């Protein structure tokens, strides 16, 4: 294709495009992951396994005609996704003659069918080939623009296989590509093509493939038998027939590309005919029903494709031979993982309910599942986090009252300030060329001007402009363990940005508590107390919530005040009861904030996040030492929030906050507070400046 320059193509560059492309063509939840050290793989080399993961080579060097590397990704993705859409995994074993009593469906049915042949390896290869032919043909019919691309690509890829090998001939016949040249094999290709023709026809389904596999298999076995009987001297000698069989089976390993000069190492990709010594996996239906066995996990599948393993059904002969690895051997390690997954996906009722007992409110906690952004995958991890709303049991209300006393001198100033910014709900705008009403004064002036022979000013309408303050703000408090740190306040030195208003003096004269050092959380709480007082004055709707947690299953969300709650004694008591808990999984908490705003009808919506460090949790990302995952997830969560119409603002008391906040949000949307203890004084000012309405 002329529009693409001929250069190596990296998967990560086009992964986003590919994912969207695939989701448009096939509305299924697929995900794309990369295979290291792999050249282009013909679609029929991919095992017939369902699953949401599609594995593609990490990087492709240019091959074939111009742009083939780029096209390869789209065509292969379409092919693999189309298997689901075109019914490959809808096979019912009971539909096949001779299997009427069997209940297997989908991939288990395919396995059992393939396993019923004397040579399951050959039958499996034929099944994949037939399905591949069927899907290519159907794709070409439905997407006419894709047809030439698929054909061109298949041709390029086939050129990389041994041109003289019989298996290549067979693939050529299956995919309806004209043979390279006239040769003694041509009648064979012609015969094979006749066998494959029905699967390429309109209306063919997986049952057509099943039927053609049976006839192809018999035909090939017959050829091999005949060759054996006739002995040497025949072009289709026994050796030749055996080689074809082995070639075919080997074909699925995707390692034949090696001969084309790829750096594929460690594989037995010499194209010869020795029996398979690769990893074998047991994927039989019998095992699955036994309870221990199960479908392959994405990781295992990837391993399989990477190693070029043969998926061999255990019911076939010789499945127990060789030093193969069995799925049952793999399961031990991942069993706990599976349990964890089931727990996460399962119902609330299946979760151990210790948390509920501790709360003792006699009511069920509500759980929420949230996606999490994985920047490595460039994809959301669906329903990755489980968040629980936990009602806080309040203290005696002392903290709130004590704070009010402590800041008694500062509060009137704050209140006054907030009263000032409360506007009238409508403002009359005069002097308009167009408006709701006539402005009598101006009309008279215009009339006078006119009578005096002057040009009147035509702007004699007025209109009411809405100026109502309609704001809802949610304060989200980081309740991580690190907020337990005491605030080390150095003796105050006057600085440039110190203003000398009443608040400041009040602050310096504030009574000091002696009994225990004030912690970051205490200062945050004080700031919220002052804020709540100020907001009651201005009448803005506000909510106060906190979050912490431990692990993705256990994100805790504490509701201190909902939007529709009044500032009651109970709410005041809950503010006092806020204490440091555990980790900081910000993404899920922010996504829950978005939920909280769903029923809020205010015109302007804001979230103010008070934190003391970067997002972190023990399983927040692939590498515990790196905070990149958490930062990226938080960044995406903040963007989602903004898309939902809520403007976020982040305040941190972490002096190194610039480093990561810069990545998470625009510089105008965050603030690093150097002097932690000044937060209660600063928060109302920040609010005034930040909140737009």
Partner 1 sequence: MGIELKKFDTRLQAEGPEVRHLDPAAAPFYLPIGDEVEIFTAAYKARLPVLLKGPTGCGKTRFVEHMAHQLSSLPDGPNELITVACHEDLTGSDLVGRFLIQADETVWVDGPLTQAVRRGAICYLDEVVEARKDTTVLIHPLSDHRRILPIEKRGETIEAHNGFLLVISYNPGYQSIQKNLKHSTRQRFVTIEFTYPPADKEVEIIAHEAGVEQDIALQLAVLGEKVRHLKASGLEEGVSTRLLIYAGELIQQGIAPRRAATVAVTWSLTDEADSKRAIDEVVKAIFP
Chain residues that interact with partner 1, rule: CB under 8 A? 14, 16-21, 23-27, 74, 78, 142-149, 434, 436-438, 443, 446, 460, 463, 466, 597-598, 600-603, 644-645
Q: Which residue has the tokens 């069918």?
A: 113
Cβ 531 to partner 1 shortest distance, Å? 24
Could you tell me the end-to-end alpha-carbon distance of the chain, in angstroms, rounded to an integer?
Answer: 52
- Residue among 488, 461, 492, 420 at smallest CA distance from 655: 488
Which CB atom, from 140 or from 304, has the smaller least distance to partner 1? 140
| DSSP secondary structure of 279-311 | -EE---HHHHHHSS--PPPHHHHHHHHHHT-EE
> Which residue, 155 or 685, is less far from partner 1 as judged by CB?
155
Q: Which tokens sit at 339?
A: 């349990």
- Minimum distance from residue 433 beta carbon to partner 1 (Å): 9
Residue with smaller CB distance to partner 1, 143 or 219: 143
How many whole angstroms separate alpha carbon 239 and alpha carbon 21?
45
Contact (CB, 8 A) for 457 and 449: yes
- Output 146 or 559, the one with its CB closest to partner 1: 146
- Min. distance of Cβ 27 from partner 1 in angstroms? 4
Does residue 215 contact residue 221 with C-beta atoms inside 8 Å? Answer: no
Alpha helices in 143-165 (DSSP H): 146-159
- Shortest reach from residue 458's CB to partner 1, in Å: 9
CB of 435 vs partner 1, minimal distance in Å:
8
For 526, the 3-state DSSP assignment is helix
Question: In Å, what is the CA distance from 581 to each residue of 201, 355, 397, 496?
Answer: 64, 14, 20, 36
Of 321, 317, 327, 322, the closest CA to residue 290 belongs to 327
Query: Of the two residues 190 and 426, which places its CB atom closer to partner 1 in the complex?
Result: 426
- What is the smallest separation between the CB atom of 21 and partner 1, expressed in angstroms? 4
**Taking the CB of residue 309, how many other CB atoms lie within 10 A of it?**
21
Angle at CA of residue 169, ends 168 and 170, nearest 5°:
90
Q: Cβ closer to partner 1: 31 or 245?
A: 31
Q: How far is CA 345 from CA 52, 127, 177, 339, in A?
A: 16, 34, 46, 10
34 or 37: CB nearest partner 1: 34
Nearer to partner 1 (CB atom), residue 52 or residue 239: 52
Tally of CB atoms within 10 A around 152: 18
Please state the length of the chain.
Answer: 693
State how far the alpha carbon of 148 is from the alpha carbons of 19, 38, 67, 141, in Å.
Answer: 22, 25, 13, 11
The pair of structure tokens assigned to 570 is 């109970």
Phi, psi (degrees; rounded to nearest 5) at 687: -60, -50
Query: 95 vs 595, which CB is nearer to partner 1?
Result: 595
Least spacing, CB of residue 457 vs partner 1, in Å: 12
Q: Which string of b and e fits 459-472 if b means at least 16 CB within 10 Å?
A: ebbbeeeeeebebb
Minimum CB–partner distance for residue 18 and partner 1 (Å) = 8
Q: With respect to partner 1, which residue has the nearer C-beta, 135 or 296? A: 135
Cα-Cα-Cα-Cα dihedral sign, residues 585, 588, 592, 594: positive
Kindly list the distances between the CA atom of residue 516 and the CA atoms of 407, 486, 519, 530, in Å, as whole numbers in the listed order: 18, 9, 9, 21
DSSP structure string for 223-253: HHHHHHHH-TTSTT-HHHHHHHHHHHHHHTT
Q: How far is the CB of 148 from partner 1 (least distance, A)?
A: 7
- Give the residue with the Cβ less far from partner 1, 77 or 255: 77
Closest to partner 1 by CB, 460 or 670: 460
| CA–CA distance, 302 with 324 (Å, rounded to integer) | 17
What does DSSP assign to residue 105?
Answer: B
CB of 83 to partner 1, least distance (A): 17
At closest approach, how far in Å is the CB of 587 from partner 1?
A: 18
Closest CB 233 distance from partner 1, rounded Å: 49
What is the smallest separation between the CB atom of 436 and partner 1, expressed in angstroms?
A: 4
Residue 17 C-beta: closest distance to partner 1, Å: 4
Residue closer to partner 1, measured from CB, 117 or 597: 597
Of 144 and 516, the one with the shorter C-beta distance to partner 1 is 144
Strand blocks (E) in 520-617: 541-549, 555-561, 604-611
Instruction: Give the CA distances from residue 651 to residues 262, 407, 499, 587, in Å, rounded to whole numbers and listed in that order.
Output: 53, 21, 20, 16
């Amino acid at each position: 294709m002329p529009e693409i320059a001929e250069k190596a193509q990296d998967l990560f560059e086009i992964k986003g495009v590919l994912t969207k492309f695939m989701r448009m063509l096939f509305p299924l939840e697929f995900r794309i992951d990369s295979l290291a050290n792999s050249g282009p793989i013909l679609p029929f080399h991919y095992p017939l396994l369902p699953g949401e993961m599609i594995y593609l080579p990490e990087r492709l060097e240019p091959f074939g005609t111009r742009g083939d590397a780029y096209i390869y990704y789209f065509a292969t993705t379409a092919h693999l996704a189309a298997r689901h859409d075109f019914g490959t995994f809808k096979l019912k074993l009971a539909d096949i003659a001779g299997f009427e009593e069997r209940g297997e469906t989908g991939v288990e049915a395919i396995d059992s069918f393939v396993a019923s042949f004397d040579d399951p390896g050959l039958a499996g290869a034929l099944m994949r080939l037939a399905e591949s032919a069927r899907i290519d043909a159907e794709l070409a019919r439905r997407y006419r623009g894709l047809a030439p691309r698929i054909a061109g690509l298949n041709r390029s890829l086939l050129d990389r296989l041994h041109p003289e090998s019989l298996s290549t001939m067979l693939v050529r016949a299956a995919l309806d590509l004209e043979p390279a040249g006239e040769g003694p094999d041509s009648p064979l290709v012609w015969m094979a093509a006749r066998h494959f023709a029905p699967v390429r026809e309109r209306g063919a389904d997986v049952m057509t493939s099943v039927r053609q596999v049976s006839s192809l298999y018999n035909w090939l076995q017959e050829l091999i038998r005949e060759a054996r009987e006739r002995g040497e001297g025949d072009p289709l000698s026994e050796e030749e027939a055996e080689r074809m069989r082995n070639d075919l089976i080997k074909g699925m390993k995707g390692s034949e590309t090696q001969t084309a000069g790829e750096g594929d190492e460690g594989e037995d990709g010499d194209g010869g005919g020795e029996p398979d010594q690769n990893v074998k996996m047991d994927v039989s239906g019998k095992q699955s029903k036994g309870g221990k066995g199960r479908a392959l996990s994405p990781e295992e599948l990837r391993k399989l494709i990477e190693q070029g393993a043969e998926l061999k059904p255990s019911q076939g002969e010789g499945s127990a031979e060789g030093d193969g690895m069995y799925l049952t051997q793999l399961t031990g390690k991942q069993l706990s993982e599976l349990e964890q997954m089931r727990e996460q996906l399962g119902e609330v009722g299946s979760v151990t309910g210790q948390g509920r007992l501790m709360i003792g409110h006699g009511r069920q906690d509500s759980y929420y599942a949230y996606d999490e952004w994985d920047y490595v995958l460039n994809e959301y991890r669906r329903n990755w986090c489980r968040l629980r709303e936990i009602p806080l049991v309040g203290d005696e209300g002392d903290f709130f009252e004590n704070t009010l006393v402590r800041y008694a001198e500062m509060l009137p100033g704050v209140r006054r300030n907030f009263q000032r910014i409360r506007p009238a709900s409508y403002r009359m705008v005069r002097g308009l060329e167009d408006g709701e009403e006539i402005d009598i004064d101006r009309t008279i002036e215009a009339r006078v001007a006119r009578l005096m022979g002057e040009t009147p000013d035509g702007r004699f309408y007025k209109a009411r402009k809405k100026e109502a303050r309609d704001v809802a703000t949610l304060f989200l408090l980081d309740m991580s363990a690190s907020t337990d740190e005491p605030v080390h306040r150095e003796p105050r030195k006057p600085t440039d940005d110190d203003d000398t208003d009443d608040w400041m003096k009040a602050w310096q004269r504030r009574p000091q508590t002696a009994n225990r050092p004030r912690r970051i959380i205490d200062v945050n709480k004080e700031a919220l107390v002052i804020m709540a007082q100020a907001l009651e004055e201005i009448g803005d709707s506000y909510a106060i919530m906190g979050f912490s947690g431990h692990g993705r299953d256990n994100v805790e969300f504490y509701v201190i005040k909902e939007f529709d709650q009044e500032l009651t004694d109970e709410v005041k008591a809950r503010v006092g009861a806020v204490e440091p808990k555990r980790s900081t999984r910000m993404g899920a908490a922010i996504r829950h904030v978005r939920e909280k705003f769903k029923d809020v009808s205010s015109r302007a919506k804001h979230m103010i996040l008070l934190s003391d460090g970067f997002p972190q949790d023990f399983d927040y990302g692939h590498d515990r030492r790196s905070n990149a995952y958490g930062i990226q997830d938080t960044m995406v969560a903040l963007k989602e929030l903004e898309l939902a119409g809520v403007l976020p603002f982040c305040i941190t008391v972490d002096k190194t906050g610039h480093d990561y906040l810069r990545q998470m949000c625009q510089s105008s949307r965050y603030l690093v507070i150097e002097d932690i203890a000044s937060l209660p004084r600063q928060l109302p000012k920040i609010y005034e400046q930040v909140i737009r309405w």
